[in-house]
Amino acid sequence: MGKAICVTGAGGFIASWIVRDLLNKGFSVHGTVRDPDDNAKCGHLKQLDGSERLKLHKADVLDYDSIADAIRDCEVVFHTACPVTASTENPEDVLVPAITGTRNVLKACAQERIKRVIVTSSAAAVMFDPNRPAERIVDESCWSDTDYCKKLKQWYLLAKTESEKLAWSLSKEYGLDLITICPSYVFGPMLQPTLNSSSAVLKALVDGHESSYRDSSIPVVDVRDVSKAHILAMDKEEASGRYLCVERVVSNSEIIKILRAKFPQLSYPKECVAETSVWNQSGIRPDNLGREKLLGLITEFDIPLERMLFDTVSDMLNKGLLRAI
């Protein structure tokens, strides 16, 4: 089926689904992982249907030569590898891998004459701008304010914004065909055995460890729709630019209401408390989120909210990551 497709950070939450869906479509895949022999982190990839067409490369995005070797003989590259953390004492722990990794991957793509590069960015690079008028639709034309991210010491938000801007700068310098996908909180079943950051946000609402929940709303999308967006960005020649990947904005109280009806055996927080989180400060509302460009790419979301939440919690229960009371 032609040249292979490379997926960096192949063992991650989103990347694992991209690898799965590429294999299901008959592609050969080069996946980069820190250690191909570490079955705790990438054994699930070896069990995928079509895994005989999957080659795991020992590579680190901070090591240019290892990344260039993994990308060699590929036609398209999905760059998904990036540390995901809400906060850290040392901003360099997030900034250096994101920035240096992006630089190395795009340089290698240029060197290997890659046909198209799809970078997994984040809604974190889109949504956070205190100077944006409240009535303005939040869409792909929006960028997070880097000074604001620094002021809040939100280093992940800063890293995703800076690394995506760097990707666009380098794509122009190198003449690369670049597309970026900017997903929000990503829920859905996990192929990897360990809990990812977005799923941990949902788990915290139902694991009985908290007596209260915050009066806030978050933008969400299912991982299967995120993977779909990535692959259609590869398949559709007319695809271009950025895509904000958000199915809807949902409140914590609505999430709890939906899950309580489906999983009455779980322990839910009882008190709703005021929230002043960075998401609320961004002023995101269900009615000012632009999804038109994404829907032009994917046509429709396959996974509605209730199924998204049900499948995520069911998966955590099945994996023993969540227990009923």
Which residues are catalytic, by number? 160
> How buried is residue 257: exposed, middle or buried, by Cβ count under 10 Å (0-12/13-18/19+)?
exposed
222/305 Cα distance (integer angstroms): 8
Residue 298 is inside which H or E element, if any? helix 292-298
C-alpha distances in Å from residue 289, one per residue of 185, 225, 257, 281, 306:
14, 17, 23, 15, 20
- The identity of residue 84, as a single letter, is V
**Torsion-angle region of 42 (φ positive above 0: left; ψ -120 to 50: alpha; else: beta):** alpha
Helix or strand or coil: residue 46?
helix
78/113 Cα distance (integer angstroms): 14
Per residue in 61-92, is it b (16+ CB within 10 Å) or e — as a string? beebebbbbbbeebbbbbbbbbbbeeeeeebe
Is 186:15 a contact under the CB 8 Å cutoff? no
Q: Which two tokens stand for residue 271?
A: 């008190």
Contacts of residue 48, defined as CB under 8 A and 6 or more positions apart, other chains included, come to 19, 20, 23, 54, 191
